């Protein structure tokens, strides 16, 4: 069974709200680097950057990050991250869904290997609870407590959110 929990317009309004929160907290967008966790998090990051650019009249671009090699629960190969130097930057790390915190922990490992950011802030579209790591987002689109057996799916083509049981 699939239940729609956020429509396209709800996601758009939520990202607009989060963009304003980011701009306010960081006193503008001049020092921001927005990094989206591949796959769906990168799409959310790009949409978020579009809202920030409209608000601030800037030309930010979202950076995509593959965290596979930084995960502790899957085998991986060594390699380099493709992130710019993040020294003294305010990093907005974006993911679609926060569940156990494993992906967020891996993303943090990748970010700190690319310089020493002035701050790292974490944004998720959906926070579904059930953490295995002590990870808490700074910006949350929607808190959606779920059962372990349920999945939250983000349709990146339409940018809608569904819960699948």
Domains in the chain with CATH codes: 2-70+85-164 (3.40.50.2020)
Q: Two tokens at 118?
A: 């002035």
pTM for this prediction: 0.91
DSSP 8-state secondary structure symbol assigned to residue 84: P
Element (H, E) at 22: helix 8-25
Contact 36, 63 (CB under 8 A): yes
Burial of residue 74, with CB atoms counted within 10 A of its CB: 0-12 exposed, 13-18 middle, 19 or more buried: exposed
Residues written for the chain: 165
Residues of the chain above pLDDT 70, percent: 93
Contact 93, 120 (CB under 8 A): yes
Question: Comparing C-alpha atoms, which of 159, 18, 39 is closest to residue 95?
Answer: 39
Q: Tens of pLDDT along 104-134?
A: 999 999 999 999 999 999 999 999 988 989 9
In this prediction, residue 54 carries a pLDDT of 97
């Amino acid at each position: 069974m699939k239940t729609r929990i956020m429509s396209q317009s709800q996601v758009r309004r939520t990202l607009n709200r989060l963009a304003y929160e980011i701009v306010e907290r960081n006193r503008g967008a001049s020092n921001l680097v927005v990094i989206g966790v591949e796959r769906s998090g990168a799409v959310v990051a790009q949409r978020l950057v579009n809202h920030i650019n409209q608000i601030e009249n800037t030309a930010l671009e979202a950076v995509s990050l593959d965290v596979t090699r930084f995960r502790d629960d899957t085998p991986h190969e060594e390699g380099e991250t493709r992130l710019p130097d993040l020294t003294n930057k305010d990093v907005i790390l974006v993911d679609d869904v926060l569940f156990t915190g494993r992906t967020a922990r891996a993303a943090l490992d990748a970010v700190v290997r690319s310089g020493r950011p002035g701050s790292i802030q974490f944004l998720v579209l959906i926070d579904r609870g059930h953490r295995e790591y002590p990870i808490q987002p700074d910006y949350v689109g929607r808190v959606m407590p779920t059962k372990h057996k349920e999945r939250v799916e983000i349709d990146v083509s339409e940018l809608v959110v569904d819960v699948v049981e």
